[in-house]
């Protein structure tokens, strides 16, 4: 960055050395810009991860609730009243219940629970139970299959009575069909 000032002066140098000096100046300025950009990206991405709750759960024996809708909030309140530590995973950043759950002291992660990385952040391997209460049966089933690989018990919400019966029959988890319960 200091080529042309102080100890190194290119005024009386040959044309090739002057071109090399200019390239060295541009490379130095580019290096500083890239270094600053990488450092800024790292700091901002870490801060964003913290805001979205994407930090690793350190404890064990907690309950993971996937889905922070009305059912997820009700389940969280019941389990918290029983003294359970909770980790809530919600995909929607604008969920109206996330702030309520965070204010209650629960670890809330804003991410897609179907990704293994998200379940690793929630410490699925050390969880006591997974409660999957999203509105999509396929998502709940996928989470149950991830949990089954680690022998973590699962309770899930299912809309389809047939799928609910199949899941219970196979032993992939306990599935409650809202249609059967309503009937």
Mind listing the domains of the chain with CATH numbers?
1-51 (no CATH), 63-182 (3.40.50.720)
pLDDT at 81: 94
What does pTM read for this prediction? 0.74
The per-residue b/e assignment along 18-41, b for 16 or more CB within 10 angstroms, e otherwise, is eeebeeeeeeeeeeeeeeeeeeee
Structure tokens at 65: 């609730």
**pLDDT tier for residue 122 given thresholds of 50, 70 and 90:** very high
Q: Give mean pLDDT, residues 82-108.
A: 91
Is the pLDDT confidence value at 11 over 80? Answer: no
Is the pLDDT confidence value at 4 over 60? Answer: no
The count of other CB atoms within 10 Å of the CB of residue 68 is 28
């Amino acid at each position: 960055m200091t080529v042309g000032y102080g100890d190194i002066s290119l005024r009386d140098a040959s044309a090739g050395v002057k071109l090399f000096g200019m390239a060295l100046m541009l490379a130095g300025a580019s290096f500083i810009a890239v270094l600053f950009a990488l450092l800024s990206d790292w700091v901002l991405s870490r801060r964003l991860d913290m805001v979205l709750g994407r930090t690793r759960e350190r404890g064990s024996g907690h309950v993971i609730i996937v889905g922070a809708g009305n059912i997820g909030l009700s389940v969280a309140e019941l389990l918290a009243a029983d003294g359970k530590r909770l980790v809530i995973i919600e995909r929607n950043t604008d969920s109206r219940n996330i702030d309520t759950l965070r204010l209650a002291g629960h670890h809330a992660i804003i991410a897609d629970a179907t990704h293994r990385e998200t379940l690793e952040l929630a410490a699925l391997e050390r969880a006591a139970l997974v409660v999957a209460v999203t509105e999509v049966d396929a998502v709940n089933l996928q989470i149950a299959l991830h949990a089954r690989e680690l022998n973590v018990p699962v309770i899930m919400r299912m809309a389809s009575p047939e799928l609910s019966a199949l899941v219970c029959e196979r032993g992939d988890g306990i599935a409650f069909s809202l249609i059967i319960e309503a009937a």
